[in-house]
Chains A and B, each alone.
Chain A
């Protein structure tokens, strides 16, 4: 919601003793703090579902076995003396429903309210306990929801935007400039919160034109730089993207999609900027697009984005969306040993003994030496948005133009393609040998944030169907099918379905343009909401 206070807001949490990766349509426990929550979400209640509410503060009673009336506000006033602590009572009550001792919750509240002092902490803890006790005493049927306490503890909890920010931080990002835009702002918030501790400059630009040009200025001056925005802001960044390409200035750009056109649905989700990002910027130049499916992928791919941006001096995108950005996942952990860090910039004594440095030298790989201005003795670093010669000065002649296009674009493209990893295969037959004789009868394909829902649907349907999925997170340049022949799997599957959170099947178009493969079936959702497991299953069944 773009309403900052008031209005209807909700959050869905899934708890399971096995790994879950998607949102569900059905709700087991609905905690309704206002009347609207009941009206809107009552229909999503599962068969044995429960609505936890407070008839006194909602001024309405509901009949029926699914309703559990808990005097949340009354308890808050009794135990905490403040109405605002109703939230804490509700949290305690949920723990009561689930039969989980609220000790971890207590720890979290102590942390959250540390600055507010002991008194506030004590009152909140009392509210939690009172809410918990009330439900334990009054709700016999709640036994049905009881969870076994997990043996394993200490998971990490992280959302997609934090994962991108964390990935940037651990990749040596030193400069981030952006103009606030939902749903991308979380990256800026994260990096700004680490700025002082780790020496990062985060600059809020006056507009997205400035944001991308600042990132380029910082990168040109020798530090790893990044910018982030959503579709509308990225529209403004197009000329800057083209500039990054022409000047061969390394740039990492996060495009966190929301539904368009124009302002669209600012706080909702969509995957409709794929072809925009693919074709953005005037002229022809190489680019890399990553579309992580989970916070974990977002973390590692952000790292890879910094590596490739600097190694090849090209713009690299992290194409995310609101759903991936704002959804929190639990993990055992991320492994910092898997991160890559190579400083490809020339500085200090790197150019010692070199007589003549030219920023855009022609080389076999197309990659020219990237010196840091002012940090390499007397060598000068010159670049230009006009077509230029090896030194970086304006030219007009056809011969140099052709050589530069070959250097900047044609030589780098195949090298970039080789850096890309194939899609992730999951489902029937083991992933090590996906091209085996037994091929899926149903094959789901997609990119970015549909990873979780496709995976869960594969699990749900695999009892009765030979089903699998191909998830693409390194989507441009599309990897060679040499190592892993995903094209053969697509061609030989009984029914290959492309699942996308957009109206026109943009990834299917990309795949057809790059490989000639055409999906016969597509499932598209473009109401601004993410796919849920049940809805996707329904749509698959409709195609069978």
Chain B
């Protein structure tokens, strides 16, 4: 079993008190408890405070462009499906800049895990509204308040029949770790939206604000009822449910591609002699 220490990475450059620290720690613990070694993990991220996370732990890392981690991760998984592929993104990154990729990655259903650090604000660019900011949120660039309806990522995912849809809270790291383990072990695309306070820029959705509202979905909750799950995702305000909202085992993208059933693509050796006969096709 790997040790927690083996996952020790660089020193984080996050604000003291940032929810990201609990998310990082929960992820490391989840991987240790699942007995996954760092060299068996590919961490793909985009740009934002969340996307620095891979540097602060251990694993193969592709820290790419803002919003574009999902296509990188999907293709890496197709090339080598033996890797555990985990995407670390933020609300601006994944629900804004990369929104189209989220929709189509859910449709494709590769067996990858998406962790979205959702603090309802832009941190890296210093305080603008994000796709999940409440309507009316004031910022330097939203002088009349945020005019748009916030995006509901869980409802969106369920509408697309995403196979694993969950929400956690950085202030409940033990439960978050369990949700991460469930997401990583789920066969197919999993979305785990993680509520997280931004101690510097979000003065409304603070740690206390979340703590007073967040509760766990009841134990008898039915994970497989898509319509009821959709209804529960609409619950937001005085009470905010956490936990797994919906599960559905669909065939993964990798399972649907016949040529990689025996061997991952990366291990399939190229031989020019095998493809040479193709030249004859043109005669």
Contact = CB atoms under 8 A, between A and B. Distances in A.
A334 B266 contact: no
Contacts of A123: none
A195 B55 contact: no
Q: Which of A169, A380, A383 has the most CB of B within 10 A?
A: A380
Interface string B31-43: 0000001111010
B10 interface: yes
Contact of A243 (B65, B258, B279): B65
Contact of B259 (A162, A199, A218, A247): A199
Interface string A288-299: 000000000000
B71 A174 contact: no
Interface stretch (B78-86, B144-152, B196-204): B78-86
B78 A218 contact: yes
Interface string A358-377: 00000000000000111101
Contacts of A275: none
B259 A206 contact: no
Interface in A189-231: 194-196, 198-201, 203, 205-207, 209-211, 213-218, 220-225
B279 A334 contact: yes
B186 interface: no
B61 A383 contact: yes
A341 B275 CA distance: 13
B29 interface: no
A108 to B, nearest CB: 12
Interface in A29-64: none
A221 B266 contact: yes
B60 interface: yes
Interface stretch (B97-105, B126-134, B160-168, B226-234): B97-105
B266 A372 contact: yes
B39 A203 contact: no
B68 A240 contact: yes
A260 interface: no
Contacts of B265: 174-175, 199, 201, 218, 223
B4 to A, nearest CB: 17
A336 B279 contact: yes
B5 interface: no
Nearest to B258: A196
Interface in A383-399: 383-386, 392-394
A177 B75 contact: yes
A381 interface: yes
Contact of A169 (B42, B44, B68, B278): B278
B55 to A, nearest CB: 5
A327 to B, nearest CB: 14
Given A243-B64, A384-B61, A156 B279 contact: yes
B74 interface: yes
Q: Which of A225, A378, A384 has the most CB of B within 10 A?
A: A384
A213 B68 contact: yes
A203 B105 CA distance: 12
Contacts of A333: 279, 283
Nearest to A388: B63
A311 interface: no
Interface string B251-283: 000000111100001111010101110110011
A217 B100 CA distance: 17
A379 B39 CA distance: 7
A435 interface: no
Given A199-B268, A206-B103, A214-B71, A386 B63 contact: yes
B76 interface: yes
A239 interface: yes
Nearest to A158: B282
Nearest to A206: B104
A166 B39 contact: no
B80 A222 contact: yes
Interface in B71-115: 71-80, 82-83, 100-101, 103-104
A217 B79 contact: yes
Interface of A: 154-158, 162, 166, 169-170, 172, 174-175, 177, 194-196, 198-201, 203, 205-207, 209-211, 213-218, 220-225, 239-240, 243, 247, 333-334, 336, 339, 341, 343, 347, 372-375, 377-386, 392-394
Given A166-B279, A243-B65, A334-B279, 4 more contacts: A220-B76, A382-B55, A382-B60, A392-B61
Which 10 A-B pairs have CB atoms at the shortest separation, nearest pair first?
A: A217-B75, A217-B72, A221-B79, A172-B270, A373-B60, A214-B75, A213-B71, A206-B104, A210-B71, A221-B76
